[in-house]
Structure 1
Amino acid sequence: MESFKLFLSALCAAALTGSLAIIFVLTWVLHYRDGLAWDGGSAEFNWHPVLMVVGLIFLQGTAIIIFRLPWTWACNKLVMKWIHASLHLLAFTLAVISTVAVFDFHNAAKIPNMYSLHSWLGIAAITLYCLQIVVGVVLYLIPITPVSWRAAFMPFHAFFGTVLFVGVIAVALMGITEKLIFGLKSPKYSESPPEAVFVNVLGVLLVAFGAIVVYTVTRVPWKRPNDQVFHSQHTNDKVGEDKDKVGPALTQQPDAPDAGTSDARRRVNKVDENF
């Protein structure tokens, strides 16, 4: 891997900021708010920020960069795709539970649902995230999908996944700010009480984690090198064969079509594995 030390630094920074964000959101609800419960009260609502940070931010970020880890490059690509999909599915499950907690709390407290921009964008993000998972499973985990379809959709799959990740962080920042504005009465949010400063730091950690993940996943030299390595090996093998075939005998030529067919079949199988 090119710039391996830089990659390790980015990976450690992502792990640190992501872990701190989880610690901060747990400290927020356990120390400054009413803790965690499932009783229809404010403690049930607190599951929402906790599960969103753990699921749609930390786990989704982990799933996004899982293919960049060089010690996984020797693993079968299909295995890595299943791990990638499982992390996304777990993140989606936590997001659904956190959303149920919000609706349950609102209904118990007679608070209207879906009135804020945060709620609109949040539901949209969860819906699109579900669609992204379904399309990804259909295209890349079901073997009947044509390889040409996988290759054609891959740039869009990666692009929309990154956009959704950034969008989720933006929606989370809107949500924690909204909660502070409504939840802090005396002193008010504008007076910068300790809770407000603490949660603002949480927001900074979320932004930092997102920035590091996006930087890591968009650097081409850190991409899983299946395609490049295969192309390089095939080219080197071809050059070696050409050197060995100085003045080939005519009796060897009939075998060439079968060898070429075999090579072509291997190339097709390798391309299928990469997508």
Structure 2
Amino acid sequence: MENLKHFLLALCAAGAAGFVAIIFVLRWVLHFKEGLGWDGSLAEFNWHPVLVVTGFVFLQGTAIIVYRLPWTWQCSKLIMKFVHAGLHVAAFLFAVIALVAVFDFHNAAKIPNMYSLHSWIGLTAVILYGLQLVLGVGLYLIPVTPVSWRTACMPIHVYSGLLLFTTVIAVALLGITEKLIFGLTNPKYKDSPPEAVFVNILGLLLVIFGALILWIATRTSWKRPSDQTLHVLHTNSGGEDAKVGPALSDLTDETNAESGEDVRRRSNKPPVDNQVD
């Protein structure tokens, strides 16, 4: 990996920001609010920010960059696909439970549902995230999916994943701001009480975490090498040959192989080795 030190610095900074954000959201609901519960009270609502920050933000961010961890490159691509998908499934489950908590609280307290921009964008993000998850599993974990389909959909899959992650960060910022505006009455949010300052720092941590995850995910020099390249490097280093089946080959290798086959089909010339001078 190029610039390994820079990668490790960005990774450690992202991990620290995400971990501290989880500590902050737990401190917020346990110290400034009514704690955690599941009885339709505000304590049940408090599960909403905890699960969103822990699952929909932190786990999703981890899933996005899991391919780029160099110590996982010795694992087969299929294993990493399952890890990637498993983290996304966990993040989706956290988000669904977070929605159940907030709807239960609103119904018990006779508060209207889906009236704010936070709720509109948030529910849309969860639905699209679920669709992204289903399509991702169908395209990239089922071996019978044509290579051409996977190749064509990969840019869309990557872009929509990063877009949804950014959207979730924005929705979380909207949510904590909305909660502070409605929840702080004496003193009010505009008076900057300790809770407001504390939660504003939480918002900054989420922005920092999101920015670092996007930076790591978009650096081409930190991309996982193709399985063919890893196989060659591993063989040249004296290790045992890695057994990589057709279903595990990297999309780049599959695309190159497919392109090469097309070129050979279009060419009427025999191979150079078979030509006579």
Name the TM tier (shorter chain).
0.7 to 0.9
CA distance in structure 1 between the partners assigned to 2:176 and 2:245 by the alignment: 49
1:185: how far off? 0.1
Aligned-pair identity in percent equals: 65
What is the match of residue 255 of structure 1? none
Q: Deviations over 1:212-254 (max 9, x none)?
A: 0000000000000116727988xx9xxxxxxxxxxxxxxxxxx
Query: Is contact 2:227-2:249 (8 Å) kept?
Result: no
SS at match of 1:113: coil
Q: Give the 5 Å matches for 1:109-258.
A: 109-226=109-226, 229=229
Is the partner of 1:137 in helix, strand or coil? helix
Higher helix proportion (structure 1 or 2): 1
Q: Hey, what's the Cα distance between the residues in 2 that align with 1:26 and 1:232?
A: 47
Write the distance in 2 (CA, Å) between the matches of 1:267 and 1:155: 24
**Structure 1 residue 148: deviation in Å?**
1.1
Distance 1:180 1:267 in 2: 52
Q: For 2:152 and 2:231, how far apart are their aligned partners in 1?
A: 19
> Which of 1 and 2 has greater Rg?
1
CA distance in 2, matches of 1:30, 1:215: 32
CA distance in 1, matches of 2:193, 2:82: 45
Match of 1:274 among 250, 254, 262: 250
* C-alpha distance in structure 2 between counterparts of 1:200 and 1:53, whole Å: 14
Alignment of 1:56 with 2:56, yes or no, is yes
In the TM superposition, what is the alpha-carbon distance from 1:49 to its structure 2 partner?
A: 0.2
Instruction: Note if contact 2:64-2:84 (Cα within 8 Å) is conserved in structure 1.
Output: yes
Aligned alpha-carbon RMSD (Å):
1.9
Residues 77-105 of structure 1, C-alpha deviations (whole Å, 9 max, x = no match): 00000000000000000100010000000
Partner of 1:71: 71
* Residue number in structure 2 paired with 1:2: 2
- The one-letter code sitting in structure 1 at the alignment partner of 2:203 is G
- How many residue pairs match? The answer is 243
With over 3 angstroms needed to count, the CA separation of the structure-2 counterparts of 1:230 and 1:152, relative to structure 1, is farther
- The TM-score normalised by the length of structure 1 is 0.85
Distance in 1, matches of 2:12 and 2:20, equals 12
Runs of 4+ aligned structure 1 residues displaced above 4 Å come to 230-233
| Residues 183-220 of structure 1 deviation map (CA, whole Å, 9 limit, x = unaligned) | 00000000000000000000000000000000000000
Unpaired stretches in structure 1, ≥5 consecutive residues: 237-265
Q: Supply the distance in 1 between the matched residues of 2:244 and 2:71 (Cα, whole angstroms).
A: 24
Amino acid at match of 2:48: H
Q: Show structure 2 runs of 5+ residues with no match.
A: 237-242, 252-277
Match of 1:10, SS?
helix
Q: Secondary structure at the match of 2:249?
A: helix
Give the drift of 1:274: 1.3
